[in-house]
Amino acid sequence: MPTVAPLDLDGYCLFASFIGEVPVYALADGTVHRLDHGHHAVEMHDGLTCAVRTLDGKALITGGEDGLVRALNAGGTAAEIGSVGRKWVSALAAGPQGAVGFSAGKNAHVRLNDGTVKDFAEERSIEGLAFAPKGLRLATARYNGGTLHWVTAAGQPIDLEWKGAHTAVMFSPDGKYVVTTMQENALHGWRLADMKHMRMSGYPAKVKSWSWSAKGKWLATSGAPAAIVWPFQGKDGPMGKAPLELGTRGDSLVSSVVCHPTEDIVAIGYADGMVLAVRFTDAKEILLRRGGKGPITSMTWDDKGYRIAFGSEAGDCGVIDIRG
């Protein structure tokens, strides 16, 4: 039987993850809580707007209402790594080779491992950032599409056009697709080889959480009473195919999803705080958490795929261990 080790915090949890083996919880009030041989709290900002984990899993990057970008390492030491001035930091992304992307308003910046910063500007506000899995390439999400920028290599930026407001962006793990969430209840995708469009719509609510399955075969998403899981294993991606609907419930929307690091399994968090794990092949469900005080906002598996750190809007966070 899976077990839940609760951690009751006071405030909205924006991001729950692991730094190394240590569960961490980033709250909107600006504190980051660590479970490292006891409960420790670090004041990162007065007001935290976004958080992301570095690709090597060894640090947490946070952006604040104070316009600062900071990094927290596994030992609990924080350092400033960037600043956007008086605006709120609106988006963050972690890239290969230790690169960190951050943005505010119409400007994005990439801080490279050696501390140099590259600047990029768009004509409209940047809502989301993502790095390609290989090569230093940054994608922005903005009104009417997104743009792909080479960070260090020479090369013209490439515009990805699609009418409407795009609020977040992600590359597929093989780098072949770029997908965005939209202000409307839909996703949009581009196959980079030929810029073919993919429309993924039909959600009753905005998609706010998404996760690629192992090897990028599936893309799991929130925004419906089930996890909507789009097939990306064929050469045409999800075009012309129906998604899987996993963990369907009649009384609560899915608010957070995270795929297992190696198996075709997705952990699904709901608006009432419930968490299920569901296998893609037979849709078999395992209850991981009965429910809680608020919608699940964020979940991350540890590298081995045994534990899930989860956070909620109400602050009732914790760690689920599926080994029992």
**Binding stretches for another protein (CB under 8 A):** 11-12, 14, 28-29, 46-47, 49, 65, 86-88, 90, 105-106, 124-125, 127, 143, 163-165, 182-184, 205-206, 313
Residue number, 207 or 265, with CB nearest to another protein: 207
Using alpha carbons, list the distances in angstroms from residue 239 to 9, 198, 230, 231, 258.
42, 6, 9, 9, 22
Residue number, 14 or 71, with CB nearest to another protein: 14
What are the structure tokens assigned to 279, written together?
């296998």
CB of 161 to another protein, least distance (A): 13
Q: Which amino acid is at 23?
A: P
Long-range contacts of 99-106 (CB under 8 A, 24+ apart): 99/131, 99/136, 99/151, 100/54, 100/61, 100/69, 100/71, 101/129, 101/130, 101/131, 101/138, 102/63, 102/69, 102/129, 103/129, 103/140, 104/67
Residue number, 11 or 291, with CB nearest to another protein: 11
Residue number, 45 or 260, with CB nearest to another protein: 45
Using alpha carbons, list the distances in angstroms from residue 314 to 6, 271, 289, 295.
13, 11, 15, 7
CB of 279 to another protein, least distance (A): 31
Give the H/E segment covering residue 122.
Answer: none
Q: Which amino acid is at 284?
A: K
CB of 178 to another protein, least distance (A): 19
Residue number, 132 or 160, with CB nearest to another protein: 160
CB of 104 to another protein, least distance (A): 9
Using alpha carbons, list the distances in angstroms from residue 285 to 13, 20, 229, 249, 265.
26, 28, 15, 12, 10
Residue number, 28 or 228, with CB nearest to another protein: 28
Residue number, 231 or 315, with CB nearest to another protein: 315
CB of 127 to another protein, least distance (A): 7
Q: In what order do the strands lie in the sheet with 265-270?
A: 254-259, 265-270, 275-279, 285-289
CA-closest candidate to residue 4, choices 304, 283, 277 = 277
